[in-house]
């Protein structure tokens, strides 16, 4: 059997209260007893149980991560950074892929609450705002990623989506494109990007055409289908701005199937700058994933540990990464 606090106490000839104090560095303990207890603990290879200590009201040292899909490189790269920082601070991450599905969201949130996670990281793509309300009603800290809920004052971290939308569109317009389409992911952050997109169009005296706008989920297939629709429009686009790299890959797939070459026949710009963008040499709006993951862990854990009372709202800058998938309009 694994040793318990009783085993340590007995072997050290002290009470369990004393052992508990040296474990947690609380109360006042003489140097001598402290050393003794520490010695016995390592002799016995004793490790305090999180489960037992959580039952007494302490933390579980666990954070729930709610994302649409861990298999999406954007989320997995984010998760990796989050995990690294959280782990440094003594927390582990449990992953929950919700697939934009309210049922799954509900099941996961309830599961995580029963497990008494110390906090939640919720990313864009989470649809049920009521659930988030329930979580904060229980006084469980939450940090939102690329997702803001104006009615709720919460920690949040994201990029300036308006800017991302604007810059990407401007890049395309600068290259001479007049027919610039958008494939948006059905997540909240898309709204601001669309605003940026529209403003950039205006800036370059281009009209917004609803036929050049599609909203969809984030799989390669969805991107492919959307692109197909777009290219079938009367006056088809010469450039497509996909709101994430996966969708952009879908666009490229579609182009490949149609024998269109990129960027000669079609310019494509993605968003996220994940590993997916590398070899397709995809021009994309980069997100500072490392910073986002680290900041997310920091703010959330600060709140969990009661070190901060004010909520943070962090807005990072996206960065245009120009590769080979965008080029001047050919007439």
Partner DNA sequence: CTGAAAGCGCTAACAA
Partner DNA sequence: TTGTTAGCGCTTTCAG
**Which spans of this chain sit near DNA (rule: CB under 7 A)?**
1-2, 4-6, 13-18, 20-21, 23-24, 26-30, 32-34, 48-49, 52-53, 55-58
Nearest to a second copy of 279, 331 (CB atom): 279
- To DNA, the closest distance from the beta carbon of 2 in angstroms equals 7
Half-sphere exposure of 321 (CA within 13 A, CB side): 19
100 phi-psi bin (left φ>0, alpha ψ -120 to 50, beta other) = left
137 binds a second copy (CB under 8 A): no
**Within positions 38 to 77, which residues make up the interface with a second copy, using CB under 8 A?**
47-52, 54-55, 60-62, 69-71, 73, 76-77
170 binds a second copy (CB under 8 A): no
Q: Which of 177, 297, 298, 193 is nearest to 243 (CA)?
A: 193
Count of residues of this chain found to bind a second copy when the rule CB under 8 A is applied: 51
Q: Cβ of 210: how many Cβ atoms within 10 Å?
A: 6
Nearest to a second copy of 115, 258 (CB atom): 115
Residue 233 interacts with which of a second copy, DNA, none, CB < 5 to 8 Å by class: none
Nearest to a second copy of 28, 114 (CB atom): 114
Degrees, nearest 5: CA angle 276-279-280: 80
Q: Tokens for 215?
A: 């909203």
Beta bridge partners of 119: 63
Beta bridge partners of 145: 123, 157
112 binds a second copy (CB under 8 A): yes
92 binds a second copy (CB under 8 A): yes
């Amino acid at each position: 059997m694994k040793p318990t606090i009783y085993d340590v106490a007995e072997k050290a000839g002290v009470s369990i209260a004393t052992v508990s104090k040296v474990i947690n560095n609380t109360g006042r303990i003489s140097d001598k007893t402290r050393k003794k207890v520490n010695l016995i603990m390592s002799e016995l290879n004793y490790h305090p149980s999180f489960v037992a200590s959580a039952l007494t009201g302490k933390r579980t040292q666990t954070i729930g991560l709610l994302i649409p899909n861990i298999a999406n490189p954007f989320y997995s790269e984010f998760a990796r950074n989050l995990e690294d920082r959280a782990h440094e601070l003594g927390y582990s991450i449990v992953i929950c892929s919700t697939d934009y599905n309210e049922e799954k969201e509900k099941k996961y949130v309830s599961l995580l609450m029963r497990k008494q996670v110390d906090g939640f990281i919720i990313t864009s793509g989470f649809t049920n705002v009521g659930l988030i309300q329930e979580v904060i009603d229980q006084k469980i800290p939450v940090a939102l990623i690329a997702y803001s809920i104006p009615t709720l004052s919460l920690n949040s971290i994201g990029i300036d989506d308006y800017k991302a939308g604007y810059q990407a569109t401007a890049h395309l317009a600068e290259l001479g494109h007049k027919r610039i389409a958008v494939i948006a992911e059905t997540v909240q952050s898309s709204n601001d990007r669309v605003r940026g997109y529209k403003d950039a169009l205006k800036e370059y005296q281009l009209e917004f055409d609803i036929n050049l706008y599609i909203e969809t989920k984030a799989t390669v297939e969805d991107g492919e289908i959307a692109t197909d629709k777009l290219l079938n429009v009367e006056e088809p686009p010469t450039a497509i701005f996909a709101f994430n790299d996966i969708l952009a890959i879908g666009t490229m797939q579609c182009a490949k199937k149609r024998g269109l070459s990129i960027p000669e026949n079609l310019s494509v710009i993605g968003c996220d700058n994940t590993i997916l963008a590398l070899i397709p040499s995809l021009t994309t709006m980069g997100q500072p994933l490392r910073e986002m993951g680290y900041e997310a862990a920091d703010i959330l854990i600060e709140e969990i540990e009661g070190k901060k009372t004010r909520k943070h709202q962090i807005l990072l800058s996206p960065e245009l990464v120009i590769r080979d998938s965008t080029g001047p309009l050919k007439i």
